[in-house]
């Protein structure tokens, strides 16, 4: 399912214009991205959590040059679904 599919489905089920639904979804995603960029987790009860995970420094190999490189510690975004979400999906 794409963002356009989500917009169409919400617009159809609520009767709200597609442009307004799209603007709302864009604002929602921007809000989540901004929060994660500030190292703040986002918790949506019954749905899940958007969290920031820290990846430790590690050593990797560049096979083509046969060299070793060090990948520094960095943050990545992650999603952890809520228990109710997981039980619905597992059905």
CATH of the domain at 85: 4.10.520.10
Q: Where are the extended beta strands (E) located within the chain? A: 42-44, 48-55, 58-62, 67-71, 74-81
Q: Which two tokens stand for residue 38?
A: 């500030």
Tokens read off for 36: 């994660």
Answer yes or no: are the C-beta atoms of 18 and 7 closer than 8 Å.
yes
Indicate whether 1 and 12 sit together in one domain. yes
User: 68 forms bridges with which residues in the sheet?
Assistant: 61
Task: Work out how many domains the chain is built from and give that number.
Answer: 2
**Are 47 and 30 found together in one domain?**
no
Q: Give the pLDDT of residue 91.
A: 80
Residue 84 near residue 46 (C-beta atoms within 8 A)? yes
The residue segments making up the domain with residue 29 are 1-38
Task: Please tell me whether residues 49 and 86 are part of one structural domain.
Answer: yes
Same-domain status, 86 and 70: yes
Q: Does residue 53 share a domain with residue 34? A: no
The predicted-structure confidence for 17-70, as pLDDT tens digits, reads as follows 999 999 999 999 999 999 999 999 999 999 999 999 999 999 999 888 889 999
């Amino acid at each position: 399912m794409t963002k356009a599919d989500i917009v169409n489905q919400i617009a159809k089920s609520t009767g709200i214009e597609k442009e307004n639904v799209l603007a709302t979804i864009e604002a929602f995603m921007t809000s989540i991205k901004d929060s994660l960029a500030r190292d703040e987790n986002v918790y949506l009860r019954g749905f899940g959590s958007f969290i920031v995970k820290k990846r430790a420094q590690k050593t990797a190999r560049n096979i083509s040059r046969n060299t070793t490189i060090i990948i520094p510690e960095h943050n990545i975004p992650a999603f952890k679904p809520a228990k109710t979400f997981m039980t619905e999906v597992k059905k």
